[in-house]
Amino acid sequence: MESTKVQTDMNELRQFISFSVGEEEYGLELLRVKEVIRIREITWLPKAPTFVKGIINLRGDVIPIIDLRDKFGLPAKENTAMTRVIVVEVEGRLMGMVVDSASQVVRIPADQIDPPPPVLGGFSQEFITGVGKMEDKLVILLNIDAILTVDEIQALNTLDKSLSPAAV
């Protein structure tokens, strides 16, 4: 019975949204993604944390937008027709992440996902959950909960309070 469960787990297909930032291909667990939208006008906020590009109104919800190029230490790049915002929920809060492009949902068998190496392209292990092996490429699987530090999450909480109607 135990060996059957192990076999099932090894054949389990995990689903990720595939996107690129710079030259790398990344994946986020599909269940964590609320939606993928085209880039739109982002309202800049004075005194916002440096990692926050601004805010957008998404069907009545004001959500902070984080530029993953900036977060990953990559040079800024002009938005293109391919630029997307991936809306995710982190610690009960919606947040958008600007990426160079979002391509598709990919399915990777669990046995084709390796644990993260100690250092990967300047990222420490804490940012990634693993590396998915596909036919002709590797997909770096991000740990969405570790993208922001505790201090950055606290800064977002402060930003949320300053944006609430009671604070205005």
Counting residues of the chain whose pLDDT is more than 70, the rounded percentage is: 83
Domains of the chain: 12-163 (2.40.50.180)
Question: Angle at the Cα of 108 (from 79 to 90), degrees rounded to 5?
Answer: 55
Beta strands in the chain (DSSP E): 13-21, 24-29, 33-38, 52-58, 61-67, 84-90, 93-99, 101-109, 113-114, 119-120, 123-124, 128-133, 138-142
Q: Tell whether the model's pLDDT for residue 79 goes beyond 60.
A: yes
Q: What is the mean pLDDT of residues 35-41?
A: 93
Counting residues of the chain whose pLDDT is more than 90, the rounded percentage is: 43
Residues paired with 88 in a beta bridge = 33, 95
Q: Tell whether the model's pLDDT for residue 139 goes beyond 80.
A: yes
> Between 17 and 73, where is the model more confident?
17
Beta strands in 9-51 (DSSP E): 13-21, 24-29, 33-38
Contact 54, 40 (CB under 8 A): no
> Between 7 and 17, where is the model more confident?
17
Q: How far is CA 44 from CA 51, 88, 145, 158, in A?
A: 12, 20, 24, 16
Which pLDDT value is given to residue 66? 92
Which pLDDT value is given to residue 146? 82
Report the C-alpha gap between 129 and 115 in whole angstroms.
Answer: 7
Of 12-26, 27-41, 114-128, least confident by mean pLDDT is: 114-128
3-state secondary structure of 134: coil
Which pLDDT value is given to residue 120? 54
Residue-wise pLDDT tens digits, 39-57: 999 999 887 877 789 999 9
Q: Tell whether the model's pLDDT for residue 152 goes beyond 60.
A: yes
Q: How far is CA 99 from CA 49, 77, 133, 136, in A?
A: 19, 10, 21, 22
Contact 65, 52 (CB under 8 A): yes
Which pLDDT value is given to residue 27? 95
Which pLDDT value is given to residue 50? 78
